[in-house]
Structure 1
Amino acid sequence: MRSKLHRVRMVLWSMLLWSVASYAQVRIDMDHDWRFRTDAADAGLAAGWSAATPAETRLVDVPHTWNIGEDDDYEGVAWYFKSFTAPASMLASHVELHFGATFYRSRVWVNGVEVGGHEGGHTAYALDIGKQLRAGENLIAVRLDNLPGEATIPGYAMRQAGSGSVWYDWWHYGGIVRDVWLTVSDHALIRRQRITSKLGGDAASVSSDVFVENVDGGDSRYSVTASIVDPDGKAVAQAQRDVTASAGQPVAVTLAVNLPHPQLWNVGDARLYQWVTQLHAADGTVLDSRSESFGLRDIVIRDRRLYVNGKPVRLSGVSRHEDSPWEGLAESTGTIRRDWSDMAALHTTLTRPVHYPQNDAVLDFADRHGILLIPEIPVWQFSEAQLKNPKLLALAKAMMREMIEQDGNHASIFAWSVCNESDASMPGGRAYVDAMASLIREIDPGRYVTFADADISIKPWKEAPVMHDVDFIMANAYFGSWSGSGSDVEPWLDFVDRTYPDKMVIISEFGYPGVFSHDSASADKARSENLLQQMDAIQRRSFIAGAIFWTYQDYKSHRNLWAGQTEGYVDHGLVDENRQRRPSYAIYEARNEPLSVATQWEVDAGGLRGFKATVSGYPATHLPSYSMQNYVAHWRAIDDRGHELAHGDEVLRDLAQPVHIEGAWPAAGKGAAVHLLVDIIRPDGVRAGGVASDYHPLNIGSAHFLPNKDEQP
């Protein structure tokens, strides 16, 4: 009954849309009421499943992965089916079926006719299905195969062949793991737009390459307009160009504007503009529109340092797998926002998010909160033979191109990574890195290229020529576990400094895996000690621009598990798989605060009357350190009965120099105790640091929460 009512609502909604908007592109949600079943014998195609839903299917909504519950460890073929009703008016339009991501290899049929497919589990694709649609009931059938091989990405980790296991080091989730939708267009559509910007003086030049596609039967002339909205919601510029497109052909047109006095996107202070493009028919009718945010910022590597808007930064953060016991890879926006809000509370300003292209919600969060990203395609632990395989190189290039074209407008992205812990130092691996770098510099010349390497930290340390080919070095360095003893980090860092004297370095992974200890509790104690020791050593080397801790949460795998386990959650996170915080969470949070707060009580004969505080950002030698403007100090004083004595807010215009604040209240009495909270809030509302202090006449000046303070009576 639910499915039938849903179909009735969909057809009524579709008819309404066509009656009020016969030209502008329409998007129709297709996430609900799918049927699913596995196909272990791979017999579904022969049995006619591409044209008819078989028996014994389960009702699911997408995003969905089958690797939760009864099909937890299932690898192979599975099918998804969806029936929907199309009004007759839809048949005259251009209709595409969009998948946000399907893992891993897909084939798609509409009403028994194959309309296309895709390889790769983390990027979006669209299929033209207009010719296969019919008025009334229609059936979509999707066949998916999540079985890895030596030439899939991710695939068998052949560098690990000697260990007897070639599983990649995260779970092999299969399914329709992101949203599905239809778009319905008439005459022409905007396929995508590529926004670029350049700062100069007190102005910014911004342009957008708009890719228009004519879906009509004849040549047509169109008008493309753009409106740019500043971070305050004010329209600040417009542009317009005419374009002619042949029938069924794409064409690109460039619109450009100049923006005086731009508001800059910055680390921890993300100011976003909006670029709104409209495609018009000759009579002025709006055929399609696209709105995307962008940030104006200047990110430069110079003299082995990273500069954002002309100021040196040293950044830190944590990585995170798209994984949880309740959703796996098929994450909801709620889970993503919850986790990334927690990562922001951990002062994350830089991360290589994980080994594969990210959900739009991840990139949008990073854009809005001023977090720099280095996205990567999942070429993990590949051997030289794999990297030399022309088929794999072609797939890697296609995957990288899809990721860049899909995500390239995000202000948070400053570099791309082409592989992780693979045989890049071998001749065939170096050729792979160079080929991928050449592609990226061709299609996205404004961003840096790198890869994450583990060989660099494994003894005997030796120079790798491929490191000179990339824009900066990313090193996975697990001193205290896989890379050697914790004390080895100091001589290793000196080796890197001598060997690559012109290269900036980011520590792309460091941390402590639980399997090096007896149990989870002792592992987390070692993890806390390790992260402090490693960060202190890293901080002493100015050529290291950032350090990324592995990892935020425990994640599911067949590798790096406790003795006797063949599957489970890798004990590696500051939180466990259920997001329960370990003691190391608080240690990491305190170590990575970008500022300090020191308080001093103001006492006279009548008792405690107030406080003074000094808020200081850290110098450029500290890790982390970055520019901080327009933060807000919020303080609150509470007496021993829980009553508020006073509170206040003060804008901290620039923390490049220490800023002094103070607060006062009527004397609380000689014997009164007072609890003072001082929180420093970033412009995006995230807490950057602070202090909590307790005053009591018998125990004056106790304080807690933060190590950076100087309490005095």
Structure 2
Amino acid sequence: MTQSIHPSRRTVVTALGAVGLVALPAWPETARAADGTAAVAADGPVLDTHPATEPSGTHVRDVGGTNVVFQYGAVLPAFDGWCTHEPTREYLSLDRKWRFRFDPADQGRGQGWQSPDLDDKAWGLIDVPAAWDLLNTPGFGSEATPFGKGTAFSDGYAWYRTTVDVPASWRARHVRIAFLAVGYSAEVWLDGVHLGKHEGANSPFALPLAGALRPGARQTLAVRVFRRASYTDYTAATPQPVTDDHEIPYKPVDYWPYAGLTRSAWIEAVPQVTIAKLLVSGANGRLEARAVVENHGTSDFDGRLTLDPGRGSGGRSTVVAARIAARSAGVVRVSVPVPHAPRWSPASPHTLTARATLTTGRPSSPRVDTLSTVYGVRELTVGDAQLRLNDKPLFLKGLNWHEETAAHGRAMTPAEYDRELGHITELGVNLIRNCVYNRHPYVYDWADEHGVMVMDDIDTMWLNTAQEKLQTERYGLARAQALTMAWNQHNHPSVILWGLQNESEIDADGAPVYRAWLADLKAAVKAVDLTARPVTWASSTSNDPAFDLADVIGFNEYFGYFYGKDSDLGPTLDAVHEKYPDKPILITENGTWSLAGDHGPDTTEGTEEWQAARFTAHWTQVAARSEFVAGFTYWVLKDYKQRAGYNQAYNGISVMGLLTFAEERPKLVYDVFRKAVNPRGR
């Protein structure tokens, strides 16, 4: 697997009992975010700069037989702090109003906007979380509003600043700052000390504060956020796209690139010896757990770890030794029978809560640290052209969806999630595809609780051969996103498929590059997933030269709309099955469009009747082949925003949804989709 771009201070040390150890990798106290300065084209927009490899130093290391993901010189931690507060830890929410200022000329860094001495009283205010797109863009959710005006089209750099009162008690703690998402990239300073840079709009990250933290003092936190312009002129008759080979996606795509601190952020103080991550796998009456423990202190830790498999599991708490050398990370492995744990399934979405507790090992010793996680017991297998859950063949009645509302963009509220995801259960859907980026943790928790399966995706959309080669051989951002996806969503029983890419380019001469890229992404997710979930992707073709690498064959099809006839789908599915007889097939996208309220014959393009008839024609052919087709994932739950002006977009609103964008009003196809009978039941 990948190697760290930052050399470790020590090599792997000898494993101690159930624990394997590696030294924590070195990370500069002031991580250099870029080589050189921001690039400004003479007649174009600001482009961000990039280091030789993606800036977080994401890599995986074998720690006593368990592959562990590291970022910024530490284990990539659990991000449950947005909703769950462990009793051994302290949390400081950063969800509040921050000072905010756009920096279109990229002058802020040179003028010291990161400095605690800066007078920012004249700056504006912005909520965190929020998308700066919605700061001042009247009519953002209207199909009739002229396109191209407002803060939705403010690109380049913008700065966020706030102050925090750091408790004096944190002197003996390991402290990190966590962000659930910042779009597109972020550089972070504490009292002018540069902590690091993160790239990727939809992946959570955590930066250690050692070297910058001053317990007992008020400190200034500054975040510089960057978003690349999509076009040089949004109102031009023929807009010219703005691209950056290092970014993912590297060019304009047909969803909206919301900018800013779009999800929650907080500071978390944990013990010097801490459980950074608890990986669990529940299957066949057993719970396999790997507690990833960090020792940030200067003394070796010799204690115990207790694993409680949770109420209702029938399992007993198990105690094992936990010996972690100073400045090292170790993995404590525990295997516990859970004879009474109910299986998780869409019909019965039973979950349990496992808790790991560290103690010093002395009698009646207090807790050093705790970490809990929700999990489910289920068995997922692929074979004989079928995808099986708990040994029962699945047919996935699925929906693609975008995480946004007209009121808040991608910074959705819990009430908005509940309202939108409520349509999932109303429609009889058993799979959501998180096209083409990771979602807020709320979504995975909701899916676990409601028995809705998930195909998770990363941002690798519409890459060309040059970017595939760059990502595989040098930059590594695609690999980092694959690793963090599998690591962060590992314990969710609802997540059943890892999606590796969407409609990326396959040149005739580039097929070897394409295959090597997908093999690299597949190896990344397989390296860290103890449950061996199947991988797939949303190919642009049914003749993908890498389908032999997929566990489940996935492709997008738009017969009768972009090409061919509706009736071409059935023969295409038969041909793919003949070529790969043992692999299940999943239609990862299909759909058409309609203007809400436009009614007429089902042969007239753009009417609600035409959209509904096109769905029925495709669904019928897929459902008739359920012995080897694992499902159909419709495009898309709701009309959605984009900057590309692609495919029937009005003020950037693509009208391919079952629901309208702002009002979320059902179209005719909504009810037709709801009534479509799953050939294998729920």
TM-score, normalising length from structure 2?
A: 0.77
1:97 pairs with 2:191: no
- Supply the AA of the counterpart residue of 1:65: A
1:416 equivalent in structure 2: 498
Identity %: 26
- Indicate whether 1:625 and 2:649 are aligned: no
* Counterpart residue number, 2:639: 554
Deviation at 1:173, TM superposition (A): 0.9
Partner of 2:250: 156
SS in 1 for 2:516: helix
Q: CA deviation at 1:55?
A: 5.0
Alpha-carbon spacing, 1:393–1:85, altered in 2? closer, same or farther (3 Å): closer
Q: Report the Cα distance in structure 1 between the residues aligned to 2:309 and 2:539, rounded to whole angstroms.
A: 40
- For residue 58 of structure 1, the aligned residue among 113, 124, 130 is 124
Q: Where do 4+ consecutive residues of structure 1 move more than 6 Å?
A: 515-521
Contact 1:337 1:361 survives alignment (8 Å): no
Provide the C-alpha distance between the structure 2 equivalents of 1:433 and 1:96, rounded to a whole number of angstroms.
Answer: 33
Decide which of 65, 68, 81 is 2:161's aligned counterpart. Answer: 81
For the pair 1:394 / 2:479, whether they are aligned, the reply is: no
Query: Which residue identity does 1:101 align to in structure 2?
Result: A
Q: Measure how far apart 1:564 and its partner are.
A: 8.8
Q: Work out the CA distance in 2 between the residues paired with 1:25 and 1:535.
A: 50
Conserved? CA contact 1:512–1:523, under 8 Å: no
Is the Cα–Cα contact under 8 Å of residues 298 and 326 in structure 2 kept in the other structure?
yes
CA distance in 2, matches of 1:59, 1:237: 51
Rg comparison, structure with higher value: 1
Encode CA deviations 1:374-401: one digit per residue, 9 max, x unaligned. 1111111111111111467611111111
Output the CA distance in 2 between the equivalents of 1:118 and 1:146.
13
Please, which runs of 5 or more residues in structure 1 have no aligned partner?
1-20, 158-166, 457-462, 595-621, 627-713
Going from structure 1 to structure 2, the CA distance change for 1:535 and 1:132 (only over 3 Å counts) comes to same
- On the 8 A contact 2:595/2:606 being kept in 1, the answer is no
**Are positions 1:324 and 2:408 aligned together?**
no
Match of 2:336 in 1: 257
Q: Which deviations, in whole Å up to 9, do the C-alpha atoms of 1:335-368 show, x marking residues without a partner? A: 1122112111111101222101121111011111
1:330-409 equivalent positions in 2, closer than 5 A = 330-389=411-470, 390=472, 394-409=476-491
**Residues 596 and 608 of structure 2 are in contact (CA less than 8 Å); yes or no, is this contact kept in structure 1?**
no
Deviation at 1:442, TM superposition (A): 2.2
Q: Determine if contact 1:75/1:172 at 8 Å carries over to the other structure.
A: no
**Are 1:27 and 2:91 an aligned pair?**
yes
The one-letter code matched in structure 2 to 1:536 is: T
| 1:3-61 Cα distance to aligned partner (Å, 9 max, x none) | xxxxxxxxxxxxxxxxxx99921122111121111110110001110013535422222
Q: Are 1:91 and 1:130, in contact at CA under 8 Å, matched by a contact in 2? A: no
Deviations 1:389-437 (A, max 9, x none): 1467611111111111111110011121111101257221111111211
Q: Distance in 1 between matches of 2:172 and 2:121?
A: 33
Structure 1 CA distance, aligned partners of 2:671 and 2:288? 44
Which residue of structure 1 aligns with residue 379 of structure 2?
A: 298
Choose between structure 1 and 2 for higher RCO, CA contacts under 8 A separated by at least 6 residues: 2
Task: Report whether the alignment pairs 1:268 with 2:324.
Answer: no
Aligned to 1:138: 219
Give the structure 2 partner of residue 46 of structure 1. 110
Specify the alignment match of 1:195 in structure 2.
Answer: 280
| CA displacement 1:50-92 (0-9 Å, x = unmatched) | 0135354222221111112231112211111111222323334
Provide the rounded CA distance (Å) in 2 between the counterparts of 1:238 and 1:153.
Answer: 46
Q: Partners of 2:318 and 2:326 in 1: how far apart?
A: 25
Cross-structure match for 2:20: none
Q: Deviations over 1:220-277 (max 9, x none)?
A: 22221111224x5x77421111212222221111111011143111123201111111
Higher deviation after alignment, 362-371 or 50-59: 50-59
2:240 aligned residue: none
Q: Residues 64 and 400 of structure 1: is their aligned pair in 2 closer, same or farther, counting only changes over 3 Å?
A: same
Distance 1:386 1:57 in 2: 38
Cα distance between partner residues in 2 of 1:450 and 1:225: 37
Equivalences for residues 274-313 of structure 1 within 5 A:
274-283=353-362, 284-313=365-394
Shift of the 531–79 alpha-carbon distance from structure 1 to 2, 3 Å rule, reads: same
Q: 1:152 to 1:573 in 2, by over 3 A?
A: farther
Match of 1:511 in 2: 591
Residues 455, 56 of structure 1: alpha-carbon distance in 2 compared, 3 angstrom cutoff: farther
Taking a change above 3 Å as real, the CA distance of residues 169 and 519 of structure 1, as seen in their structure-2 partners, is farther
**Amino acid across the alignment from 1:449:** V
Say whether 1:447 aligns with 2:447. no
Match of residue 15 from structure 2: none
Higher strand share: 1
Per the alignment, residue 129 of structure 1 pairs with: 209
1:627-706 equivalence runs, <5 A = none
Aligned residues: 555
Shift in alpha-carbon separation, 1:393–1:415, aligned structure 2, 3 A: farther
Q: Structure 2: which amino acid aligns with 1:96?
A: R
SS at match of 2:88: coil
1:582 and 2:676 matched: no
2:659 maps to amino acid: V
What amino acid maps onto 1:343 in structure 2? I
Q: Is the 8 A contact 1:153 1:378 kept in 2?
A: no
Task: Note if contact 1:554-1:572 (Cα within 8 Å) is conserved in structure 2.
Answer: yes
Question: In the alignment, which residue of structure 1 is the partner of 2:197?
Answer: 117
Change in CA separation of 1:23 and 1:298 when aligned onto 2, cut-off 3 Å: closer
With over 3 angstroms needed to count, the CA separation of the structure-2 counterparts of 1:410 and 1:145, relative to structure 1, is: same
**Residues 25 and 189 of structure 1 are in contact (CA less than 8 Å); yes or no, is this contact kept in structure 2?**
no
So what's the TM-score if we normalise by structure 1? 0.74
Q: Specify whether residues 207 and 562 from structure 1 end up closer, same or farther in structure 2 by C-alpha distance, changes over 3 A only.
A: closer
Label 1:380 to 1:473 Cα distance change in 2 as closer, same or farther (>3 A).
same
Q: Does the aligned pair in 1 maintain the 2:648–2:655 contact within 8 Å?
A: no
Letter aligned with residue 35 of structure 1: R
Shift in CA distance, 29/238, structure 1 to aligned 2, threshold 3 Å = same
